[in-house]
Amino acid sequence: MAADNCIDNEADGASVDRPFIFTIPKGTAVPTSLLLLREDLSEFALLPSKPMFCTKVLVSRHLIVLADLCSILNDFYSEHADKWDAVEWLDDHL
């Protein structure tokens, strides 16, 4: 888990970015441009609802699609999610 790796790296004296967790209230509607994937009992991922392809011919188009996906995710997280430091969240919830 990213939080465990972070703690281990900090203990070794490495400078690391701390991982974070987004929490989203149960019952929150997911935009039609996204799919909610249940990865584990309490772990979920948001994925694009349409396939994203990248070929040499469509590289610039693919970059636009990625920018659109980032914008959709940023808007969704800004409106519906709380961002937590993963280590602190785990300390409080486990």
pLDDT in tens, 49-79: 877 665 444 445 555 567 778 888 899 999 9
Q: How many CA atoms lie within 13 A of 52 on its CB side?
A: 17
What SS3 state is found at 18? coil
Question: How many domains are there within the chain?
Answer: 1
What SS3 state is found at 3? helix
Range of the domain at 51: 2-93
What is the predicted pLDDT for the residue at 55? 45
pTM score:
0.66
